[in-house]
Structure 1
Amino acid sequence: MTDKNIGFIGLGVMGQSMAGHILAAGFNVRVYNRTKQKADALVDQGAVWCDSVADLAASSDVIITMVGYPADVEEVFIGPDGILENSAAGSLVIDMTTSDPALAEKLWQDGRQNDIGVLDAPVSGGDIGARNASLSIMVGGSPDDFHRALPIFKTMGTNIVHQGKAGNGQHTKMANQIAIASTMISVCESISYAKRAGLDPETVLKSIGKGAAASWSLNNLGPKMIQGDDAPGFFIRHFVKDMGIALSAAESMGMKTPGLDLACSLYKQMEDQGAGLKGTQALFHLFS
């Protein structure tokens, strides 16, 4: 099947760039977002606005969702106005939201009943990766659906891996978030230590950012911490959501996650202080 009509739902910090890359690659892109103004730039570039999820689903070969929370995923997928009720048989739906692995499995099963393919394909790389089309994309679902979606994935990312059955994309993203959670604490402590020791933190990064301590968080968010730049590439409130999903999944597997527990508690403290819409690097304020 040649998929030319791509529907994209969710035009937030990352979704706008992702949809823009698909449009630039020559696909016919239909867009929907709760706040219509966020679609204006894409419509100016040639995307077609749809007034509802149902309209978008009915006119698209492939539908991509990039929304906020598992409840938002359920809202756009399920019900008389949702994707699964309004997509044609043979359509493919790709949820790129970071969401619950169990929900991903359920939606895959629901899709099968309607002859609709469903992939869970969360991403990592933040706003920088979305803008540069260099996202890591972790995909769960059938191999045939994965290969069908690959030309679309390649417009948005460079590290695209099929992780296996439905739900495995989300489980992989949870592993990613667990690794980031403790790393963010370490980056904050490291830069705070450098400042307390009277060092120039930017000069310190030139050394440790190239050695064994190097990480994406250190090299991309460390400079923002030093500069006091709290602009969101990824919202604190969404990171708290992700960590909550990971904690719940880990608990269901009988697994202890002390590093994740600590990181989640610190980020919840930031959220309680009204910093939910700041970038995750704002955690540094607890250490500075």
Structure 2
Amino acid sequence: MKIGFIGTGVMGSRMAQRLLVHGFQVAVHNRTFQKVHPLIENGAIYEETVSALSNQCEIICTCLSMPQDVMTVYMGNEGIINTAKPGTICVDFTSVGADTSKNIYGMAGAKEISYLDCPVSGGPEGAENGTLTIMAGGKEMAFHKVKPVLDVLGETVEYMGNSGSGSIAKLINQYLVAVHSLAASEAMVTGAAYGLESEQLLKVLKASYGDSKILRRHMEQYILPRHFTPGGAVKYVHKDIRLANQLLKEAGLRQFTGQMAEKAFQTAAEKELSEQDMSAVIKILEEETGIVVKKKD
């Protein structure tokens, strides 16, 4: 079985590497050649174009940055849908809106190509260790055919339902990520403003109902050490919370906490924090209050 992998950035490179380690034949393509070079050294086959990769692989995986990238790779003149063989199964790990997934699913189906929206959660460490959560939407038969591949990449692999279901589940997860990020930032800045020592406050919160993975991740790995090299960048969370908020509006909600989170991440992006880790959203609150959350001197 030959697997194609398009998009070898922070997440995709680690996922492709796991497939190589587990004995799969993998062809790779990325807009920036430097990002595929380590994979080639480990046995991957490099293809210069999407079309060259698409017409020779039984399974095509994509892990891209933005919805428009997904649309181009799948629906462009030389994209996957126009160049892959009938019977090919496409697995998109990108976080996009359900409408994008459904549109690609319909166009792929017309060419007898299966398309699964399979966004992931777990960050670079999850991709590297094969402990991702994978949420799949599309035809169940196609899901079961590629599940042995997904099991190499993820610890929790769930079929969520029809096309778009995986994307919806991921956006709900990202809604909580964004809201928790803002709430944790507000809490820690407020604590510091009232003279509480941040490490001690974190210790108390971790032992209390206020605990969360986001609180621990942001504080321990990024905020306290003041190290904001991204695991998941501000720009991606801003994109996801915007898409997630649209889901809530369509569900009939009018006022919800995600609206505040979207505004906060938009402000962070406007203040040139887009490329920093999502935890850097705390910086807009620190600037507003003049308080910096950090380790005790």
Question: TM range, normalised to the smaller chain?
Answer: over 0.9
1:66-81 alignment to 2 at 5 Å?
66-81=63-78
**Residue 285 of structure 1 pairs with residue 283 of structure 2:** yes
1:25 aligned partner: 22
Amino acid at match of 1:142: K
| Aligned mates of 1:103, 1:154 — CA distance in 2 | 25
1:244 aligned partner: 242
**Residue 12 of structure 1 pairs with residue 19 of structure 2:** no
TM-score, with length taken from structure 2: 0.92
Task: Tell me, yes or no, if the aligned pair for 1:39 and 1:49 is still in contact at 8 Å.
Answer: yes
| Aligned mates of 1:150, 1:206 — CA distance in 2 | 39
TM-score, with length taken from structure 1: 0.95
Report the CA distance between 1:42 and its aligned residue.
0.7
**Residue 124 of structure 1 pairs with residue 114 of structure 2:** no
| Aligned mates of 1:81, 1:285 — CA distance in 2 | 42
Report the CA distance between 1:229 and its aligned residue.
1.2
2:89 aligned partner: 92
Task: Tell me, yes or no, if the aligned pair for 1:247 and 1:257 is still in contact at 8 Å.
Answer: no
Amino acid at match of 1:151: P
Pair 230,92 (structure 1): closer, same or farther in 2 beyond 3 Å? same
Report the CA distance between 1:185 and its aligned residue.
1.3
1:129-278 alignment to 2 at 5 Å?
129-223=126-220, 224-278=222-276
2:294 aligned partner: none
Pair 281,126 (structure 1): closer, same or farther in 2 beyond 3 Å? same
Q: Secondary structure at the residue paired with 1:128?
A: helix
Aligned residues: 285
Larger deviation: 22-31 or 244-253?
244-253
Q: Secondary structure at the residue paired with 1:98?
A: coil
Q: Secondary structure at the residue paired with 1:71?
A: helix
Q: Secondary structure at the residue paired with 2:28?
A: strand
Q: Secondary structure at the residue paired with 2:4?
A: strand
| Aligned mates of 1:152, 1:194 — CA distance in 2 | 45
2:292 aligned partner: none
Larger deviation: 92-101 or 181-190?
181-190
Report the CA distance between 1:163 and its aligned residue.
0.5
| Aligned mates of 2:255, 2:81 — CA distance in 1 | 36
Amino-acid identity (%): 28
**Residue 113 of structure 1 pairs with residue 114 of structure 2:** no
Amino acid at match of 1:25: H
Deviation track 1:32-63 (CA, whole Å, cap 9, x = no partner) reads 11111110111111111100000111111100
**Residue 39 of structure 1 pairs with residue 36 of structure 2:** yes
Report the CA distance between 1:203 and its aligned residue.
3.2
Amino acid at match of 2:158: V
Report the CA distance between 1:257 and its aligned residue.
4.6
Task: Tell me, yes or no, if the aligned pair for 2:175 and 2:240 is still in contact at 8 Å.
Answer: no
Task: Tell me, yes or no, if the aligned pair for 2:267 and 2:284 is still in contact at 8 Å.
Answer: no
Pair 155,228 (structure 1): closer, same or farther in 2 beyond 3 Å? same
Task: Tell me, yes or no, if the aligned pair for 1:92 and 1:116 is still in contact at 8 Å.
Answer: yes
Task: Tell me, yes or no, if the aligned pair for 2:28 and 2:53 is still in contact at 8 Å.
Answer: yes
| Aligned mates of 1:6, 1:210 — CA distance in 2 | 44
Amino acid at match of 1:265: K
Task: Tell me, yes or no, if the aligned pair for 1:181 and 1:259 is still in contact at 8 Å.
Answer: no
| Aligned mates of 2:131, 2:218 — CA distance in 1 | 17
**Residue 59 of structure 1 pairs with residue 60 of structure 2:** no
Deviation track 1:65-85 (CA, whole Å, cap 9, x = no partner) reads 111111111100013311011
Q: Secondary structure at the residue paired with 2:258?
A: helix
Amino acid at match of 2:246: S
Larger deviation: 192-201 or 72-81?
192-201
| Aligned mates of 2:54, 2:255 — CA distance in 1 | 39
